[in-house]
Amino acid sequence: MTQWRKKEKDATYSEEEIEARLKEELPGWYYEGGWIRRKYKTSGWKATLMVINTVGHLSEAAFHHPDLSASYAFVIVKLMNHAAKGVTDKDFELAKKIEEVIMWQPGSEESSALEGTPDDPRFKYIKYDS
């Protein structure tokens, strides 16, 4: 794994650096139109709202705010540092935290007392990446 050098405060990454870092650290994310993006597929409206609220909480705690697009069964998260007019360390760090929390799957670790969502369509929440 590449050790990415921290840039000076609000220094932006080049498109090539962004692509390489996403490939290595955030493979579910992609770069398009000046933003790093991720589409989270959900099982329906309630799950979509839970994803939006989770992203909202993490973003407010970080005081770095993404743009969101939502529909019945998905949420698109777009990150770019508006003040810097590009993608910065803030975007990568918040994307990692969002990814960690949204894609967390209790029950995937043997030692966990948390079972996770049952494999039953009535309880589905996030459509996890395979």
pTM of the model: 0.89
- Alpha-carbon distance 128 to 130, whole Å? 6
67-104: per-residue pLDDT in tens? 999 999 999 999 999 999 999 999 999 999 999 999 99
Confidence grade of residue 109 (pLDDT, cut at 50, 70, 90)? low
- Considering the domain boundaries, does residue 42 fall inside one? yes
Range of the domain at 65: 33-102
128 within domain boundaries:
no
- Runs of H (alpha helix) within 37-105: 45-62, 89-102
Q: Which two tokens stand for residue 5?
A: 């050098």
CATH of the domain at 85: 3.30.1360.20
50 inside domain:
yes
Number of domains into which the chain is organized: 1
Q: Report the C-alpha gap between 85 and 81 in whole angstroms.
A: 6
